[in-house]
Amino acid sequence: MDNILHVDNLCKKYKNFKLNNVSLQLPKGFIMGLIGENGAGKTTLIKLIMNLVKKDSGDIKIFDKDNVKFEREIKDRIGFVYDEVCYYDHMSLKENGNMVSMLYSKWDKDKFNYYLNKFQLNKDKKLKELSKGMRMKFSLCIALSHGAEFIIMDEPTVGLDPVVRAEVLEELQSLMENENMGVLISTHITSDLERIADYITFIKDGSIVFSKPKDEIMESYKIVKGDCNILTKEVEKHFEGISKNRFGFEGLTSQVDKVREILGDNIVVDRATIEDIMILKK
């Protein structure tokens, strides 16, 4: 299986933070969700992939090419949607499109106009007149209008209402009909990832907790609920993380059969969401 992105033992050290030996792979034709708390290293990882900051060590390959040596060629083939739109506030959307079109070899004016209409954006409005949600939609229009083979998104659905969010997610899924494309999406809206992601990469304190197919993750983990008085140190060894309050406990486990064997009918077992895993996993 060909990879659109290959990251191997990537390190970047700041004064109070270190991205530590990060490795992951995204095959062509798939969507990867990147999750983690604020400050976990998601944005640092994306900036390193885009060569916006310099790595200390490790390798990053996009389209099987070194992301530094072939930066210009690679970025011509990437659609990048950051959490803040970095275009020209005093220009109209049409004028911004004309400016950006000069940066890409495969800019498609008709496709740009199609996405402006799809997301109900007035091409004659100045960028500074748009709300944050509308600015994000405009950034998506740019990313999807130059034949990009790899879309990288940092919190792309922040500020979008549920209807528009659904449209954006459907558009991403339809793009995957082209098996040579790939999407990396960092977001706190984990329900979006449950809907569209094929892979989930969980980063915590600068290190990768896991990077696996979503279905494998969802099948592996369960939420167990019960009374705190049934918990013992021996039982707790079978949980990845536990939350306790006066009403009882809620625990994340990948050993649900073992927990059932020990605790029997004293527990309730539910499916774990990606959010549950992110919050409870140690």
Is the whole model's pTM more than 0.85, yes or no? Answer: yes
Tens digit of pLDDT for each residue in 248-258? 999 999 999 99
pLDDT band at 59, cuts 50/70/90? very high
| Residue 67: per-residue pLDDT | 96
Contact at 8 Å (CB) between 254 and 209?
A: no
- How confident is the model over 228-257, as a mean pLDDT? 94
Q: For residues 102 and 161, what is the distance between their CA atoms, to the nearest angstrom? A: 32
Question: Where are the chain's structural domains?
Answer: 3-218, 221-280
| Residue 84: per-residue pLDDT | 66
CATH number of 221-280: 3.30.70
**Token couple for 170:** 């459907």
pLDDT at 1 over 70: no
Antiparallel, parallel or unpaired: β 78-81 and 150-154 = parallel
Q: For residues 92 and 122, what is the distance between their CA atoms, to the nearest angstrom? A: 9
Tens digit of pLDDT for each residue in 99-118? 999 999 999 999 999 999 98
Tens digit of pLDDT for each residue in 20-46? 999 999 999 999 999 999 889 999 999
Contact at 8 Å (CB) between 273 and 233?
A: no
Tell which CATH architecture fits domain 3-218. Answer: 3-Layer(aba) Sandwich (3.40)
pLDDT band at 53, cuts 50/70/90? very high
**Token couple for 74:** 């690679």
